[in-house]
């Protein structure tokens, strides 16, 4: 959980106790952040350019587009050709790519895959 901020404090000496509330407010602000669909799609395109999606049996995972469907915590919906082709490591790579553009400090990100309708 690299996205969780660690703050060492001391109740005995009062060291950095004044920073707890400001950090909690910053985390809440991050949880409420909503990214525009265009930015999410740019992030996804850049991620796919850097690292091709996995394939299985000659069929590769295709991400058509993504959007943020919820915040607090952020949930990203990716429309793909076949969700079964997505390995958890590639989903982690996508999450890290999103975090590289917008940290979402202290906030878990959920990625949901939906097959494209035919």
- Digitized pLDDT (tens) for each residue of the chain, 118 residues in all: 788 899 899 989 989 999 999 999 999 999 999 999 999 999 999 999 999 888 877 788 999 999 999 998 999 999 999 999 999 999 999 999 999 999 899 999 999 999 987 6
This prediction has a pTM of 0.88
Inside any domain, residue 12 = no
Question: CA geometry: angle at 114 spanning 108 and 100, to 5°?
Answer: 35
Inside any domain, residue 29 = yes
C-beta atoms surrounding 31 within 10 Å: 16
Per the structure, the complete domain to which residue 111 belongs is given by: 17-115
pLDDT of residue 118: 67
- Residue 82: give its domain's CATH number: 3.30.300.20
Inside any domain, residue 6 = no
Inside any domain, residue 98 = yes
pLDDT of residue 51: 93
pLDDT of residue 36: 97
**Residues 6 or more apart whose Cβ sits within 8 Å of residue 100:** none
Tally of domains within the chain:
1
Inside any domain, residue 94 = yes
């Amino acid at each position: 959980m690299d996205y969780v901020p660690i703050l060492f404090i001391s109740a005995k000496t009062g060291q950095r106790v004044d920073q707890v509330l400001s950090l909690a407010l910053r985390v809440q602000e991050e949880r409420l952040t909503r990214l525009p669909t265009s930015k999410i799609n740019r992030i996804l395109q850049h991620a796919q350019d850097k690292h091709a999606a996995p394939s299985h049996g000659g069929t590769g995972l295709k991400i058509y587009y993504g959007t943020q469907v919820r915040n607090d915590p952020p949930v990203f919906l990716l429309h793909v050709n076949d969700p079964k082709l997505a390995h958890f490591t590639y989903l982690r790579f996508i999450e890290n790519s999103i975090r590289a553009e917008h940290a979402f400090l202290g906030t878990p990100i959920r990625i949901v895959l939906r097959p494209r309708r035919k």
